[in-house]
């Protein structure tokens, strides 16, 4: 006599395939619904730019809640839509609610992999717009992305981003040093003198990297009333000083040689090297000068 199966096994054998079939049907229906929404946006115009705009509205609607499944599919479409229609993303970063701005920048950076920078005139302007109007995550992503281009127009919005979101300050301090634009020196000087302790040395280092007029704040800091500021400025200046900083170096050695014995010795050697270079140059110029007989 055959043994009877437990009732729950019988029920499972009947219901599980039915449930799987129902889930598959729902998944297929959902996929079809999402694809239809995207297809409708693409078929709304024969102009590719208008099609990209349609996808942007699905991905980042201007008002109201969004359909997350449709939005994800629209973003996927924009990632490979073509860099010639990147202007739609620039519009989106300026028009869409701010909570979508990081997604827009992320989509932009995926899209730009499909082309060359010279074929994407909207890339840098869109990243600059993200610095102005994006949320914290969008600003951080834009700062990282702009490093390969180093546009001068990014300096002020980066500083503003650090003021708005202090957690971005370390990144901005480091990036401004890499940009090497002298107009950043005023904010970097403030961070070096008044900023958090852990950011003062990086700010001094960035000033040294910029060189030129940015060495002015370092020379001024050699006269600071507190030893810590003088020492970090002197250390930063060592890496970038030129003969034009000789006066400031000698004045520091004369007044504050006891700040740090090792640092003072390094400054003396640097000054001696500059003096020798100047003497050698003067001798060469004298030797090559026309002689009157």
Please give the Cα distance from 179 to 207 (Å, whole number).
Answer: 11
* Mean per-residue pLDDT, 253-261: 96
pLDDT at 115: 76
Q: Is the pLDDT of residue 41 over 60?
A: yes
pLDDT at 193: 96
Is position 268 within any domain? Answer: yes
Residue of higher predicted confidence among 44 and 154: 154
Q: Is the pLDDT of residue 11 over 60?
A: no
142 and 49 assigned to the same domain: yes
Q: Is-contact 232 204, C-beta < 8 A?
A: yes
The angle subtended at Cα 72 by Cα 54 and Cα 28, nearest 5°, is 105
pLDDT at 288: 81
The angle subtended at Cα 135 by Cα 131 and Cα 139, nearest 5°, is 35
Residue that is written with structure tokens 């991905």 in the block: 59
199 and 270 assigned to the same domain: yes
pLDDT at 20: 58
pLDDT at 8: 54
Please give the Cα distance from 279 to 271 (Å, whole number).
Answer: 12
Question: Measuring CA to CA, how many Å separate 99 from each of 54, 65, 145, 178, 239?
Answer: 19, 12, 19, 29, 43
144 and 60 assigned to the same domain: yes
Please give the Cα distance from 220 to 238 (Å, whole number).
Answer: 14
* Mean per-residue pLDDT, 235-249: 92
Is position 165 within any domain? Answer: no
130 and 197 assigned to the same domain: no
Question: Measuring CA to CA, how many Å separate 103 from each of 17, 113, 239?
Answer: 39, 16, 40
- Tell me which residue range forms the domain holding 91: 45-149
145 and 193 assigned to the same domain: no
Q: Is-contact 234 261, C-beta < 8 A?
A: no
pLDDT at 234: 96
Is position 218 within any domain? Answer: yes
Is position 255 within any domain? Answer: yes
Please give the Cα distance from 67 to 59 (Å, whole number).
Answer: 8
pLDDT at 74: 96
Domain count, the chain: 2
Q: Is the pLDDT of residue 12 over 90?
A: no
133 and 222 assigned to the same domain: no
> What's the pLDDT tens digit per position in 167-176?
999 999 999 9
Residue of higher predicted confidence among 8 and 218: 218
Is position 174 within any domain? Answer: no
* Mean per-residue pLDDT, 13-24: 61
Q: Is the pLDDT of residue 22 over 80?
A: no
Q: Is-contact 234 267, C-beta < 8 A?
A: yes
Q: Among 149, 174, 199, which residue terminates a domain? A: 149
130 and 199 assigned to the same domain: no
> What's the pLDDT tens digit per position in 179-238?
999 999 999 999 999 999 999 999 999 999 999 999 999 999 999 999 999 999 999 999
Is position 20 within any domain? Answer: no
Is position 33 within any domain? Answer: no
58 and 136 assigned to the same domain: yes
Q: Among 101, 131, 149, which residue terminates a domain? A: 149
> What's the pLDDT tens digit per position in 109-167?
999 988 777 778 999 999 999 999 999 999 999 999 999 999 999 999 999 999 999 99
Q: Is-contact 134 142, C-beta < 8 A?
A: yes
> Could you tell me the CATH number of the domain that includes residue 251?
1.25.10
Q: Among 149, 173, 203, which residue terminates a domain? A: 149
Identify how many contiguous H helices and E strands the chain contains and give both numbers: 15, 0
270 and 205 assigned to the same domain: yes
Q: Is-contact 233 218, C-beta < 8 A?
A: yes
Is position 27 within any domain? Answer: no
186 and 278 assigned to the same domain: yes
> What's the pLDDT tens digit per position in 53-110?
999 999 999 999 999 999 999 999 999 888 888 999 999 999 999 999 999 999 999 9
Please give the Cα distance from 31 to 29 (Å, whole number).
Answer: 5
């Amino acid at each position: 006599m055959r043994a009877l199966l437990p009732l729950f096994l019988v029920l499972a054998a009947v219901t599980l395939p039915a449930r799987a079939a129902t889930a598959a049907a729902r998944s297929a229906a959902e996929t079809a619904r999402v694809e239809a929404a995207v297809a409708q946006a693409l078929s709304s115009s024969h102009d590719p730019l208008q099609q990209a705009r349609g996808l942007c509205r699905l991905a980042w609607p201007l008002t109201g809640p969004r359909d997350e499944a449709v939005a994800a599919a629209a973003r996927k479409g924009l990632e490979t839509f073509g860099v010639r229609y990147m202007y739609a993303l620039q519009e989106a970063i300026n028009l869409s609610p701010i909570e979508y701005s990081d997604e827009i920048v992320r989509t932009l950076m995926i899209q730009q992999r499909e082309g060359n920078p010279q074929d994407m005139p909207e890339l840098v302007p869109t990243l600059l717009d993200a610095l102005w109007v994006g949320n914290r995550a969008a600003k951080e992503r834009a700062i990282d992305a702009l490093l390969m281009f180093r546009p001068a127009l990014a300096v002020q919005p980066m500083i503003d981003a650090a003021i708005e979101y202090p957690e971005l300050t370390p990144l901005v301090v480091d990036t401004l040093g890499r940009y090497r634009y002298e107009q950043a020196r005023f904010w970097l000087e403030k961070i070096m003198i008044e900023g958090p302790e852990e950011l003062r040395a990086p700010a001094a280092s960035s000033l040294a990297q910029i060189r030129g007029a940015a060495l002015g704040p370092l020379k001024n800091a050699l006269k600071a009333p507190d030893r810590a500021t003088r020492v970090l400025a002197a250390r930063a200046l060592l890496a970038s000083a030129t003969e034009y900083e000789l006066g400031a170096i000698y004045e520091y050695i004369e007044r504050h040689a006891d700040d740090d014995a090792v640092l003072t010795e390094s400054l003396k050697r640097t000054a001696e090297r500059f003096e020798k270079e100047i003497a050698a140059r003067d001798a060469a110029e004298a030797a090559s000068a026309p002689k009157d007989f």
